[in-house]
Amino acid sequence: MSYQIAVLAGDGIGPEVMAEARKVLSAVEERFALAIEYTDYDVGGAAIDNQGCPLPDTTLKGCEAADAILFGSVGGPKWEHLAPNDQPERGALLPLRGHFELFCNMRPAKLHGGLEHMSPLRSDISSRGFDVVCVRELTSGIYFGKPKGRQGEGENEEAFDTMRYTRKEIARIAKIAFETAQGRRKKVTSVDKANVLACSVLWREVVETVAKDYPDVELEHIYIDNATMQLLRRPDEFDVMLCSNLFGDIISDEIAMLTGSMGLLSSISMNSSGFGLYEPAGGSAPDIAGQGIANPVAQILSAALLLRHSLKQEAAAVAIENAVSQALGEGYLTGELLASEDRHRAKTTREMGDYIAKLV
C-alpha cells in the first residue's frame, strides 16, 4: 500500500524547512517500511511567479489526488502590493480550506520544559508551564459568510461582512473539541462574544447541547476579550479552547506567541473524512529565508501530525515526535531559541534535520 502526499512548500523559509521534513519522512519510511510518494506543487507567491495565480488548477488537482497536503508557508513583501484576494495567503489558504471543507483547525501550543525563558510571560507565570490546544472552526463564520462587499457612494459608501453559523457547523467542531479534551485534561473553554453577537448566542446553545454527550469533560464559556486577558495571567488553567473562525485566528496566535517559540508549533486543518492540510504555525519569515537558520522543527512536526491523522501511522508519528523531543532536550537548537551569549552553538536548519532524521 502506497500513500500520496502533495507537497506545497511555498515561499520564504518554506522550501528550506520542507527539505528537512522530507529527510525525516524518508527516515521513518525506511524504519517502518512505509511507501510514500511525494509530488511537489506550486503555491502562494511561487505559484504567482510561475503560473500567475496563488493556487493553480494543477495544484488543486494534485491535492485532490493525494491522501494529505504537507504545506510550508506562503507570502512575503514581493506580493504585498497585490489586491487582498490575489495575495498568497488569502488567495491560497482560504480557497484550499473552502475547497476541501477543512472545517477543523487544531493548533497546539505547549511551553516546552527548558524553554520557559522564551515565553514573553513573567517568570512566575511561565514557570507553571501551559499546554493549550485551540480548536478553531475554519470554513464558516465571518470569513466565508455572504453577503460581503461594498455599496453606496461618497462618504456614505459602506463595506459589509456577514458572520454566519448553523447549528450543524457549530456541533461538528464542538464535538471535536470535546473528543480532544477527553484525551487530555478534560476541560473545554468555549470562546465567544455572547453578550453582543447573535452567532455567539447560538454557539453557546449548541455547545451546551453537545457537552451533554461528554459528561466527563468540564465546560466553561468565556468572552473573547476576557479570554485574551486571562491567557496572560493563568495560561496553565486552559486545556482545549473552542473557537469560531475569527476568534480562533486571534486565540491561536496569542497562545503561539505565549510559548515564545513559534518555530516549534504546527497545525492541522482537517475535513470530516480525515483528509488534512498540515503546516507550521510560524509563517514564511521572508526576513530570514535563504540563510539556512530557520527552525525546521514545526515543519517536521507537521509531517508527524500528517502521519498520525491522515495516514493513521501512529508509530511513525511518535517516532518523529520522540526524536524531536530528544534533540531539543539535548540542547540541539536553532539560534532564535538561544540566548544571545549561546548563539555560537546554534544549529543550522540542515543540522537540525540531519540530527532528527538520524535519531529516527
Ligand X SMILES: CC(C)[C@H](C(=O)O)[C@@H](O)C(=O)O
Among 73, 126, 267, 284, binds a second copy (CB under 8 A): 126
Tell me: does residue 249 bind ligand X (CB under 6 A).
yes
Report the distance separating Cα 174 and Cα 278, nearest Å: 21
Q: Is residue 249 within a helix (H) or strand (E), and if so which, with residue range?
A: helix 245-259
Tell me: does residue 93 bind ligand X (CB under 6 A).
yes
Of 33-41, 90-98, 304-312, 344-352, the window that binds ligand X (rule: CB under 6 A) is 90-98
Tell me: does residue 254 bind ligand X (CB under 6 A).
no
Tell me: does residue 159 bind a second copy (CB under 8 A).
yes
By a kind-dependent CB cut-off of 5 to 8 A, residue 161 interacts, out of a second copy, ligand X, none, with: a second copy
Per-residue contact flags (x/-) with ligand X for residues 223 to 242, judged by CB under 6 A: --x-----------------
Tell me: does residue 42 bind ligand X (CB under 6 A).
no
Catalytic residue set: 143, 193, 225, 249, 253
Q: Is 232 helix (H, G, I), strand (E, B) or coil?
A: helix
DSSP 306-322: HHHHTS--HHHHHHHHH
Smallest distance from ligand X to CB 223, Å:
7
Give the alpha-carbon dihedral of 267, 272, 276, 278, to 10 degrees. 0
Beta bridge partners of 277: 69, 269
130: Cβ–Cβ under 8 A, 6 or more apart, which residues?
109, 110, 111, 235, 236, 238, 258
Tell me: does residue 90 bind ligand X (CB under 6 A).
yes
Question: Is 146 labelled a binding residue?
Answer: no
By a kind-dependent CB cut-off of 5 to 8 A, residue 11 interacts, out of ligand X, a second copy, none, with: none
Among 11, 16, 42, 89, binds ligand X (CB under 6 A): 89
Question: Is 292 labelled a binding residue?
Answer: yes
Q: Which residue reads 451533554 in cell numbers?
A: 212
End-to-end Cα, the chain, rounded Å: 22
Residue 107's CB is within 10 A of a number of other CB atoms, namely 24
Binding footprint of ligand X on the chain (CB under 6 A): 89-90, 93-94, 195-196, 225, 249
Binding site for substrate: what residues are annotated?
Answer: 97, 107, 136, 225
